[in-house]
Amino acid sequence: MPELTEARRDRLDDDQFAYTDRSGERKLPIHDESHVRNAIARFNQTDFEGGDSKATVARRILRAAKKHGIEVGEDDAVRKAAG
C-alpha cells in the first residue's frame, strides 16, 4: 500500500474517506485500490458512532470497491453490515 503522508491525507476530500466521526476525524481512506482493500480489512476494527453509521460506511466502502474492481465476498463483514 502506498504511504499516505499526513500532508497528502490532509489534501484528500472528505468524500475520499469512508467515515468521519463527530469530532471531525476522517477514517478509512478509500481514494485508491490499496486503501479500499485496507478499509475492508480494518472495517471491524473501527468504532462507529450512531446506529446507522456502520451500515452507511459499509455501503460507501462497497461502492469504492466496485469502482476499483475489488470483489467483496458475501461472508465479508463489510458486505454483511451493508445489509
Query: What three-state secondary structure class fits 60?
Result: helix
- Cβ distance 61 to 43 under 8 Å? yes
C-alpha 32, offset from chain centre: 11
Q: What is the pLDDT of residue 51?
A: 66
Confidence at residue 53, expressed as pLDDT on a 0 to 100 scale: 87
pLDDT in tens, the chain (83 residues): 678 888 999 999 999 999 999 899 999 999 999 999 999 999 999 988 876 689 999 999 999 999 999 999 999 999 999 98
pLDDT of residue 50: 74
Bridge partner list, 19? 27
pTM of whole model > 0.85? Answer: yes
* 52's grid cell: 446507522
Residue 9, C-beta contacts closer than 8 angstroms, at least 6 positions apart: 26, 29
Q: In the chain, what are the domain boundaries?
A: 6-82
Grid coordinates in use for 49? Answer: 458512532
